[in-house]
Chains A and B, each alone.
Chain A
Amino acid sequence: MDAFIQDLIAYWPQILAGLKNTVVLMVIMSVTGLMGGVGVFYLTLSSHKAVRRWMDGFISFFIGTPLIVHLFLMYYGLPELGIRLSAFTVAVIGFTLNVSAYNARYLATAYNGLDKTELEAARSQGFTRRETFRLIIMPQVMRMSVPSLTNQAIQNLKDTSVAFLIQYHDFFAQMQEVASTNFQFFKAYVTAGAVYLALISIIVLAARRLEKRIALPGLAT
């Protein structure tokens, strides 16, 4: 154990850099994924049938296929077309598409639970589709989706570990490095697991506070 801890200390700067990469990737994809999810959700409400179809297809495809395939397709496939993207770029694009699809589905589920007469009321008041979306639909749908969106953020943190398979130097990749120098695989991976657990606990606590702050009477989150 002592030797392992010494190795951890020796590799500390690298591990910390990896941890930073993990958190950065998680934060970026949570933000882009939320924006993308809202955009896709908006388009699923389009008055054009073709647009709705495409969005349903988009959501279904990204929910139905593994993330790692999208990452490999971009990281190992695109260079054939002369397009060489960094592991980071690939991860951000791949995760954004994937997370957007999930978030859009959560928002759509919340939308189905909305009282549609409110939308009729908004229309009868003279609001445009876009105003109705921004002023009536979004404030309610976002509140109702907080638990699913938080779960997605947790999922995002866990999924960053997949990026190590396309050579992104995330936290897990660094722990891998530590393990392969001292062959203490068990300790290294369990430590990694414990760190993910700790990071997720922070998200959970933050989410609880957020839920309390934005809760409104009669609008269950």
Chain B
Amino acid sequence: MALIEVKDLAKAFDGKTVLKGINLELSEGQSKVVMGTSGCGKSTLLRCLNLLLPPTSGRIIFKGEDITRPGVDIRKVRADIGFVFQHFALYRHLTVEENVTLGLRKLKKMKATEAVQKASHELERVGMIEHRGKYPAQLSGGQKQRAAIVRALAMDPAVLFLDEPTSALDPEMSREVVTVINKLFLENVTMLCVTHDPFLAKYISDSIIFLDEGVVVAEDIAERLFYNHADPRIKHFFMSVIDHR
């Protein structure tokens, strides 16, 4: 059984339909990347899946439970889904360590010492331990994103959502973040990542979902999708993004 199963998910803003019946599945241990032109609805999709945005119609089955039904404790679901944002969204008034422990203490009700221990362990994994006492403003972009990844991972989520995790970074820092996510991929962390960065997509995915105008056009592995695809939309998209690099 899939960890996440999305059925006919649609989302409209002020009458404009952004998602037009999305179907996808994500199993435990799997990592998928969602790609597509800007404005294809990929960021909206991610936000609909943990109901940061309420879907207009369709069903989202998470761990066998339809979370779009009324009466579902959505906060529990959200706490079980790690979310990494394009612009890091670290809490500016908290140190790196406090950013990580806040959720552990307040949501998982861990003791302070226990939370710090857990945070140290996770920070160690991504090479951020020496920055634990710094505030977000004192970090580089790549460090911020690594801290944000740790904040999400420390909650031991069932799945990690990443929304354009490298697009606010310059190439060098981007590489540093790709390395970290690739490490998670090799550890079989369940991930769903939205990006338009083919480099990131290739190194962190089991398969790539291509979205265009609110529908899934194709799902395949990077090698088959990137070069000379039969569908002109896909071919054109990857020609442009890969040529740019």
Contact = CB atoms under 8 A, between A and B. Distances in A.
Q: Within the complex, are A and B direct neighbours (CB within 8 Å)?
A: yes
B107 A125 contact: yes
Contacts of B136: 218
Interface in B125-143: 134-138
Interface SS of chain A: helix
A97 B88 CA distance: 39
B237 interface: no
Nearest to A121: B89
B62 interface: no
A124 B163 CA distance: 12
A13 interface: no
Interface size class of A (residues with CB under 8 A): 20 to 34
Interface in B64-91: 75-79, 81, 83, 85, 87-91
Interface string A103-125: 00000000000010110111111
Contacts of B93: 136, 139-140, 143, 216, 219
Interface residues of B, number: 28
A118 B89 contact: yes
A120 B52 contact: yes
A125 B79 contact: yes
Interface in A181-221: 216-219
B75 A126 contact: yes
Interface stretch (A19-27, A127-135, A151-159): A127-135
B103 interface: yes
Nearest to B107: A126
28 contacts: A115-B92, A117-B85, A117-B87, A117-B88, A118-B91, A118-B92, A120-B52, A120-B85, A121-B89, A121-B90, A123-B78, A124-B52, A124-B78, A124-B83, A125-B79, A126-B76, A127-B103, A127-B106, A131-B106, A135-B102, A136-B93, A140-B93, A216-B92, A216-B93, A217-B134, A218-B136, A218-B138, A219-B137
Interface of B: 50, 52, 75-79, 81, 83, 85, 87-93, 102-103, 106-107, 134-138, 151, 155
Given A115-B92, A124-B81, A126-B107, 11 more contacts: A120-B89, A121-B85, A121-B90, A122-B91, A126-B77, A126-B103, A127-B107, A136-B93, A140-B92, A216-B137, A218-B138
